Amino acid sequence: MLILVGLGNPGAKYASNRHNIGFMAADVIHTRHRFPAWRKNFQAEVSEGVIDGERVLLMKPQTYMNESGRSVGEAVRFLKLAPSDVVVIHDELDLPPGKLRMKVGGGHGGHNGLRSITSQITDGYRRMRLGIGHPGDKALVHAHVLSDFAKADRDWLVRLLDAIADNAGELVKGADATFANRVHAVTEPKPERKPKADAKTDGGPAALAAAAPAEPPPKNAMAAILKSLLAQKTKR
């Protein structure tokens, strides 16, 4: 069994904060893989389902970020799992917005959620680090992580969360490098090569049609989840 833990702070006040990108990723995985309704257990919202034939427990600790370890530790001990059976999804200041990196072990880098989890289950768990960028000044970090994503962030954020959900099967296999590469291929696709101009083209209707931009791809259904989260700040 694998535990996928999305980190964040509970409540509408924090729902669209940068610090809550882990909760957002858990929500998209939950919807994409048709997990049952969230329920309360282990001081968290949890939902158990199957991804590519493997049992997965999705968790969103409700202890607030700084005490996330109490929730994760309780689940790990009850289910008799090893730290390596846990993937923690969290925001990462030291990565540019939209970047994803996988990591096993290591320090907490000042992230209080990771610090709390390490204190409960050691640092041997897997981390999915989701870049939110650094404000450039240490004094601004607190306000940065607890502020909402901007409208300009929505395109890359939806693309990133969709790619995570689409490729979650690689996570349950333990293929972290493959998972990261596949997400990267979606979030940072290589630019298409432009076809060379044909000297025989007369510039007629056929040439104009070929040069016309392609229709934009249909809007992804997962954008609805993000839209709902980001809309909450207008209701507060």
Tell whether 112 is in a known binding site. Answer: yes
List 19, 33, 90, 144, catalytic entry? 19
First-to-last CA distance in the chain? 38
Q: Is 108 in the active site?
A: no
Rg, Å, the chain Cα set: 20
Q: Where are the alpha helices (DSSP H) in the chain?
A: 21-32, 68-79, 112-121, 141-145, 154-166, 168-172, 176-187, 205-211, 223-231
DSSP state of 107: -
- Tokens linked to 218: 């249909």
Question: Contact, 70 vs 63, CB < 8 A?
Answer: yes
Residue 41 annotated as part of some ligand binding site: no
| C-alpha distances out from residue 197 to 15, 190, 214, Å | 50, 21, 18
**By CB neighbour count within 10 A (0-12 exposed, 13-18 middle, 19+ buried), where does 94 fall?**
middle
Residues identified as active-site: 19
